[in-house]
Structure 1
Amino acid sequence: MRILQINSARSIGGGERHLADLVTALSQRGHDVYVALAPSSPIRVELSALLERNIFSVRMRNALDISSAQKLARFIKEHEIEIVHSHLARDYPLAAFAVRKNVDARLVLTRHLERPLNNLHAFALKRVARVIAVSKSVERALRAQEIFPPYKIRHVPNGIDVEKFERAGHDFDREAYRRSLPTSARLLVGIVGELREHKGQEDFLRAAAQIALEIDSVDFLIVGEDPSPDKRYGAHLMHLIKELGLQRRVHFLGWREDVPELLHALDLFISSSRIEPFGLVMVEALACGLAVVATKTGGAQEIIEDGETGRLVPVADVEALAKAARELLEDALERKRLGENARSAARERFNLARMVTATEQIYREALDTK
C-alpha cells in the first residue's frame, strides 16, 4: 500500500513515538510509506528507516491552514497515495480536505484522547473511512459523541517494540549507569512524560514528600520537558520542590534519549496522571520488568492488572499513591513478582507486531469502502 502519515506535532510524546514505530514497521513490511511533518519536527530523527525523499515538510499551522491542505492534496495526487492516516485532531480537517481532492485515497484517523471533537471536526470528517481508538476509554468517548457511525470505529491498543526494551536490559551494567545519575540513593523512583498539569507531576512530588519522611534511602527522578512556550508548569514544579523541602531528593533529568536504559535503572515507576487515555510509557515500563504504581485513569486500567502487573490507586489521591509506592519500596520480592508478570503482559498484549497487523487490516477495510 502507498500510505501517507500526517503529524504536525512540535514535540515528542507517546503519540509521536507510536507514529515512529508504526512507520518503521510498515516500511519493513514492504509498504511505500510517506510522512508529512511540520518543519523542524523532532519526529524526523525517529524516522531513520525512511528515505529522506519520503518525508514531506508542510507548515500545518492549524486546522484552517488551507495552503497546507492544498500542498497535502497535491502530494497525495503526485504520489498516488491510497491511505492517508492522520494522528492529531488539528490535522484532521487538513487531511480531510486533501483526501476530498483525491477520490481514490481513503482517510484513516487515530484518536489518542478522550476529549470531545468540535463542530469543525463533525462537519469536515463525514468521509472518514475508519477511526482507530488507542484504548477502550477513547473508543467509548468516540461512540458517545456520535460523530462517526459505530462501524467505522476500531479499537487498536498501542504497541511497542518490546524486544527493544528487553534488549536494553541485556548485559546492562545497572550500577555503572546509576553512578552516571545525579544521585547515589539506594532506591530510585521515576516518572516519565511531558511536564503538563494533567500528567500529575505535582501529585508525584507531594507523594514523594510523604515517602521521603519514612524512607531515607530513596530519591525521585522526573524525566521530561515542559513543551509550553512560557514553561509555567515546569517553573511551578521547581517552586513546589523547594516548598516541600525536596531539593536534595528530586532530580530533573529533562528529555532523555536513553529511556529504556533509564527504566531498567529504576526500582519503581509511577504514573500519577489525572487524565491518561492510554499511557505508552507505562507499557514501556512493563516491558522492562519494572513494578508500576499508577493512578486509575482509563488508560492505566487497560494496561495494569491491579495486584498482578502493578498497583492502581485513585486519581489525585496523594496519600494512596504514597502508600502504594512505599509498600513496594519496602518489599523487593513483591516488586520482582510484579515486574516479572509485567514483562510477560507486555509481550502478550502490547507487542508492536500485533498493533501493526491490526492497522494493516483497517487500511484494507478502508480501501474496500466506496
Structure 2
Amino acid sequence: MRVGIVMPLADLRGGAELMMLHLLRANKQLTNIEYTLVFFENGPLVKEAEKLGYSVNIYHTGKLRQFGRYVSTVFSLFQWMKRENIDIVMSWMSKAHLYAGPAAWLARIDAIWFQHGTPDMDFLEKCLKYIPAKAVLCPSQAAKESQSRNNPKLRTIVIYPAVDLREYDPSALPPSKEVRKTLGLPVKSRIVGIVARLQRWKGIHIFVEAAALVAKDHPDIHFVIVGGNHRSEPDYPDELASQALSLGIANKIYFAGHQANVSSWIHSVDILVHCTVGIEPFGMVIIEGMALGKAVIAAKAGGPLEIVTHSENGLLVPPNDAAELSMAILKLIEEPEYYTELCSAGLNRAKAFSTERLSNDMAEFLESLRIGA
C-alpha cells in the first residue's frame, strides 16, 4: 500500500517531527507499507527522510490567507497523489490537512490526519470540521477525548508515540559521570533536570520554584534546564533567569538551551521532571527518561497518566504545584531504595513504546482503512 504523508514542518525540535522520523526509520523493516512524502519547507527532517531512501517533494505554501497560493498548493498535492498512485494520504499535522484534505477529496483518495495536541476551537480547528477525513489520529486517550468533543462524528484513533530505545539505551552511553564532565556539569552532586522548550505551559517556572524549596534542605543539589527559546514567548527565558536569581539559586541552576544530544543530557541527571501546567498531549520526554533508567516525576494530567503508574514506575504530582513537586523530589533523594525501584520499573515500562511498535500499530491501522474495517 502506498501512503502519502504531508508534513508542514521540516525541523527536528518538536515531538511531532521526532515521531515522524521514528516511524520512517522503523518502517524500513516492513514490506506492506510504502511511504512517499511532501513537506511544506526544507530542513533537517527532509534530509533524514532522503537518507532513508524515501521519495520527497517540497511545496512552499506561503501564507494561508494567500488564496492563490493555497489553490496552487492544493492542485500540486492533487497531481502528486495521482502521479504517485497513493492509496491513502496522511496529514501529519492539522495544518497540513487544510491543503491535503481537499486535494485527496478531488483525487477520491481517503484522507486522515494527526492531531498531536489537545485542540481548542480556534479558526484552524473550525475549518478542519468541514474538510473530509476518514479518521483523525491522536497521541493519547486524553488527546482523543479532547478531539472527540470538538468533532464527535469523526472517527478518532490513538497511536502512541515512540522512543528510539537504541538511542536511549544507558548501556550504549558512557557512564553518567563521564557525560557530566563532557557537558560541564558537577560530577559528584545529585542533579535534577527538566527537558522542554521554554514555554510557560511547560511549567519551567514551577520547576525553578520547586528547586528553591529542595535547595533549602539539600543545598548540594544542582538543577539543569535543557530547552531552547520559543518565538511565541521571547521574554520567558529572562523571566526564568530572574526568578532563579531572586530565589537565591542562580548558582545551582544551569540553563543549557537547545541541545541536539538530548539523550546525553538526560543521562547526566538523577531525576527527570516533567511539570506542564497545561494538558500535555503525551509527554515523550517521560519515556526517554525511563528508557535511560532515570526516576521520573510527571504532572498528573493528560498523556502522562497513560505512561506513569504513580509510585510504581514514577511519581505523579498535581500540575502547577511547586510544593508537591519539591516533596516528590525530596522523597526520591531521601529514599535511595525506593528511587532504585522506580528507576528499574520505569526502564521496563519504556519498552512498551518502541519505534517498532509505532510502525506496526500504524501499519495495522492503515491496512484496516484499506479493507474498510
- TM-score strictly above 0.5: yes
1:235-246 alignment runs, 5 A limit = 235-246=238-249
Instruction: In structure 1, list runs of 5 or more residues that go unmatched.
Output: none
Partner SS for 2:4: strand
Of 186, 208, 211, which aligns to 1:208? 211
Residues 197 and 229 (structure 1), Cα distance of their counterparts in 2 relative to 1, 3 Å cut: closer
Aligned to 2:318: 314
Q: Which runs of 5+ in 2 are unaligned?
A: none
Partner amino acid, structure 1, of 2:275: S
1:97 to 99, 102, 105: 102
Question: Is residue 293–residue 324 contact of structure 1 (8 Å, CA) maintained in 2?
Answer: yes
Q: Residues of 1 paired with 2:246 and 2:49: CA distance?
A: 42
Alignment match, 2:6: 6
Distance 1:134 1:186 in 2: 36
Q: Structure 1 residues 350-359 or 261-270, which shifts more? A: 350-359
- Among 139, 145, 150, the alignment partner of 1:140 is 145
Once the two structures are overlaid, the 10-residue window that deviates more, 190-199 or 110-119, is 110-119
CA contact (8 A) 2:97 2:113 kept: yes
Whole-Å Cα distance in 1 between the matches of residues 305 and 196 of structure 2? 18
Does the aligned pair in 2 maintain the 1:182–1:251 contact within 8 Å?
no
Q: Which runs of 4+ in 1 moved over 6 A?
A: none
Per the TM alignment, residue 352 of structure 1 is displaced from its structure 2 partner at its CA by 2.1
> What TM-score does the superposition give when structure 1 sets the normalisation length?
0.91
Paired residue secondary structure (2:137): strand
How many residues were matched structurally? Answer: 362
Shift in Å, 1:176: 1.5
- For residues 1-370 of structure 1, the aligned pairs below 5 Å read 1-9=1-9, 11=11, 12-30=13-31, 31-47=33-49, 49-51=51-53, 54-61=55-62, 65-103=70-108, 105-117=109-121, 118-124=125-131, 126=132, 128-149=133-154, 152-166=155-169, 168-170=170-172, 172-184=174-186, 186-228=189-231, 231-274=234-277, 275-347=279-351, 349-369=352-372
Contact 1:62–1:91 (Cα < 8 Å) also in 2:
no
147 and 334 in structure 1: CA distance in 2 versus 1, 3 angstrom threshold: same
Contact conserved, 1:13 with 1:193, CA < 8 A, in 2? Answer: no
In the alignment, the residues of structure 1 paired with residue 353 and residue 195 of structure 2 have an alpha-carbon distance, to the nearest angstrom, of 19
Is 1:304–1:311's contact at 8 Å kept on the other side of the alignment?
yes
Q: Distance in 2 between matches of 1:345 and 1:49?
A: 31
1:287-342 Cα distance to aligned partner (Å, 9 max, x none): 11110011112111111000011110111011000110121122322221101001
Name the SS of the counterpart of 1:59 in structure 2: coil
Aligned partner letter, 2:302: G
The verdict on how the C-alpha distance between 1:193 and 1:358 changes in structure 2, with shifts beyond 3 A counting, is same
Relative to structure 1, the CA distance from residue 213 to residue 302 in structure 2 (aligned partners, 3 Å threshold; closer, same or farther) is: same
SS of alignment partner, residue 163 of structure 1: coil
Does the CA contact (< 8 Å) of 1:27 and 1:49 recur in 2? no
The alignment partner of 2:129 has SS state of helix
Inter-partner Cα distance in structure 2 for 1:301 and 1:196:
21
CA shift at 1:10, angstroms?
A: 5.9
Contact 1:114 1:142 in 2 (8 A): yes
